[in-house]
Amino acid sequence: MKGSLTLLSLVLAGAVFAAMPASGRQAASETKAAPAAKETKAQGNVVRIYKDESQMDIRGTTPSGTVRKVAYDSSTQWTKGGKPGQQDEVKEGSFVIVLGTLDDRVCCMQRA
């Protein structure tokens, strides 16, 4: 009697698990595997602009003064003084604030 009750419990548990839609189990595992990209901020003076590569080097305002390569594309938002601006307004020596994700294209750029 005890063995048949255990067997019946296992069969019912298996039936419940098998009845779960596969898409529900898959969606739960996909949400854990795809963390959101963290946005970072960098600021400094433009050292070089590579228009043909849609990139620029900026020297940070930290004491070490590291140079970072920043990429931009057609979806980059440019501002100047809090108002919409254009990419060609940024020149070598300009102070910029860059918001974007690491190892990805820059999402927006602001010129102070």
Instruction: Express each pLDDT in 9-62 by its tens digit.
Output: 655 555 555 556 655 555 555 555 556 667 778 888 999 999 999 999 999 877
**Pair type for strands 39-50 and 55-60:** antiparallel
Return contacts of 58-67, CB within 8 angstroms, 24+ apart.
58/96, 58/98
| pTM over 0.75, yes/no | no
Mean pLDDT confidence for 78-107: 80
Q: Which of 60-64, 94-98, 101-105 has the lowest mean pLDDT?
A: 101-105
Instruction: Express each pLDDT in 49-91 by its tens digit.
Output: 999 999 999 998 777 778 888 888 888 888 888 888 888 899 9
Of 18 and 93, which is predicted with more confidence? 93
Give phi and psi for 15, each to the nearest 5: -65, -40
